[in-house]
Structure 1
Amino acid sequence: MAFEPFIHFVRGIQGKMGTNVYSGLQGQNGQHVAFLRQMQKELNSDNALLIPLSELEVTVFDLETTGFFPEKGDEILSIGAIKTKGAHVKEADSFYSLVQYDKELPILVKELTGLSEEELRSAPPLSNVLLDFYHFARGTPLVAHHSNHEKNFLQAANWKQFKAPQKHRIIDTSFLSRVADPELTQNKLEDICERYGIEVVDRHHALGDAKLTAVLWCIFIENVQEKGYETLQDIYNLMAKL
């Protein structure tokens, strides 16, 4: 169906809820296990598609990674996120963390991100960062630009750390942009920002890119509302017909 590349119903931490599902959490405290169990219950009752766009709260996020292929060993280096409600960015409601990494960084990654081996060696482990991130995003859908990259890395990280797939709904910005701006041909984040007159700051920094994406998301929300669409379900129905 036409909408599938743009909105991902990532269903994880699901099915069997016995101790084997949480075997990856051995050594972590019971509060972590309880939190993941509770998060599943909340996400199972997810009704984001029906919330008016003017009231919809989402967590816009970005990952910096060592490459593009988690299945080949590439890893997450940092996670940045910021929340929006309706067409407004919640500037004070943000999240950022480096992720522990004890190998040598690819030269291109160092040049793009400005990250160093020294600061990554002293960063918190991925399992802790993921739990903190999910706590921050709790109860909201996730939004990302070119979300397949983020989805693939979160899926791989969740399975490696917790032996459970990732459950959050992940929405690609293009899900809205196809309706908000049908003539949009640019793909790169900085090019789309230029189209809308958005100053590009802190590019290739996880929080910086999340903030840029959040501004775009809010523009798209405004545009689709002006065209008469009131919920994500309305957009979903439209995309299913294309």
Structure 2
Amino acid sequence: MKLPSFFHLMKQFQGKMQSSAFTGLETNLQHAAFLRKMEQDLKREESLSTPLQELDVVVLDLETTGFFPEKGDQILSIGAVKVHGMQIEEKHTFYSFVQYEGEIPVDVKKLTGIVEEDVRAAPPISEVLIRFYQFAENRTLVAHHANHEKNFLTEANKEHFRIPFKHRIVDTAMLFRLVQREQIAVSLDECCRFFSIPVQKRHHALEDAKMTAAIWCEYVKMFVESGYKTLMDVFIKLSQLKQGARR
């Protein structure tokens, strides 16, 4: 009686293993299909010609272990909020810790408040990125000092999905040149003070994203009042300022 029982248990175990493998394969295929569709949608992205009052963007912020993803620094959390024109969509936010097995640098802990317990059981970066891209869809991304976000997302896409990072990303720090032309590098805190935006829970990815979104809305209002109709108009003016500065 023991022998048939043993084979029966092994058969059940094998079935569960096959089912688990199939579920994982199915999930990976779904993710791959989503990423392919996202690439196709981004090729048709029309943000440059959309009126600024109607432009949909996603404002994001990353907290990371350092500044150099190519040297092994990792994303610890992602925060984002949607904006339509000059209106922050308060109910449409995204936030997640990201799994990290290493020791978080002491200065990063002090700055962000993120500790090892927050990220040990968090979902892996590949899963968080899929959820974030599903949230962002093909909207233009906005961030403050956006090269930081762009570099980390580029490295993560290459490592986990083998695809380039193709979202358009607008830097609110760079746009400040259209407000104060003599000032190039400006911090998030300085921008908030300029526009009288309350600074709270600094260096929390979602809260920083919300403050950046408020800055973006102030920019859109100013750009529209200055006669800029689209993001293309803004980029052209910014390019002219850069060229003038080189002369």
User: Normalising by structure 2, what TM-score?
Assistant: 0.84
Is 1:60 aligned to 2:59, yes or no?
Answer: yes
In structure 2, how many angstroms separate the alpha carbons of the residues matched to 1:160 and 1:185? 32
Partner of 1:36: 35
CA distance in 1, matches of 2:159, 2:136: 20
Task: Tell me if the contact between 1:180 and 1:224 (Cα under 8 Å) persists in the aligned partners.
Answer: no
Give matches, 1:36-185, under 5 Å. Answer: 36-182=35-181
SS of 1:197's partner is coil
State the alpha-carbon separation in 1 of the partners of residues 164 and 175 from structure 2: 26
Query: Alpha-carbon deviation of 1:238?
Result: 2.0
CA RMSD of aligned residues (A): 1.7
Q: Relative to structure 1, is the Cα distance of residues 212 and 139 closer, same or farther in structure 2, using a 3 angstrom cutoff?
A: same
> What's the counterpart of residue 14 of structure 2?
none
Aligned partner letter, 2:32: V
Task: Give the conservation status (yes or no) of the 8 Å contact 1:65–1:75.
Answer: yes
Mapped contact 2:175–2:238 kept (Cα < 8 A): no
Aligned amino acid, residue 73 of structure 2: D
* Alignment: residue pair count: 218
Instruction: Work out the CA distance in 1 between the residues paired with 2:73 and 2:114.
Output: 16
Give the C-alpha shift of residue 28 in structure 1. Answer: 4.8
Shift of 1:198: 1.1
Contact in 2 for aligned 1:60/1:144 (Cα 8 Å): yes
Query: Comparing 148-157 with 187-196, which one deviates more in the overlay?
Result: 187-196
User: 1:106-132 CA deviation, whole Å, 9 max, x = no partner?
Assistant: 001111111110120000000000000
Q: Deviations over 1:179-229 (max 9, x none)?
A: 244365661111221122111011000001100100000001100111110
Displacement of 1:163 in angstroms is 1.3
1:209 aligns with 2:181: no
SS in 1 for 2:51: coil
Structure 2: gaps of 5 or more residues: 1-23, 242-247
Distance in 1, Cα, partners of 2:184 & 2:168: 25
The change in CA–CA distance for 1:175 and 1:50 in structure 2 (over 3 A counts) is farther
User: Do the aligned residues in 2 keep the contact of 1:40 with 1:167 (CA within 8 Å)?
Assistant: yes
2-structure distance, mates of 1:149, 1:86: 24
RCO higher in structure (CA 8 A, sep ≥6)? 1
Partner AA of 2:159 in structure 1 = K
In 2: Cα distance, 1:146 partner to 1:113 partner: 17
Closer, same or farther: CA 167–26 of 1 in aligned 2, 3 Å: farther
Aligned equivalents of 2:44, 2:180: Cα separation in 1: 31
1:5 equivalent in structure 2: none
Partner of 2:8: none
Name the SS for the 1:120 alignment partner.
helix
| Moved beyond 4 Å, runs of 4+ | 25-28, 183-186
Aligned-pair identity (%): 51
| Structure 1: runs of 5 or more not aligned | 1-24
Deviations 1:157-198 (CA, angstroms, capped at 9, x unpaired): 111111111111111113432224436566111122112211
| 1:36 partner letter | L
Q: Which amino acid aligns with 2:143?
A: A
Q: Distance in 2 between matches of 1:185 and 1:155?
A: 24
SS in 1 for 2:54: coil
In the other structure, the counterpart of 1:20 is: none
- Taking structure 1 as the reference length, the TM-score comes to 0.86
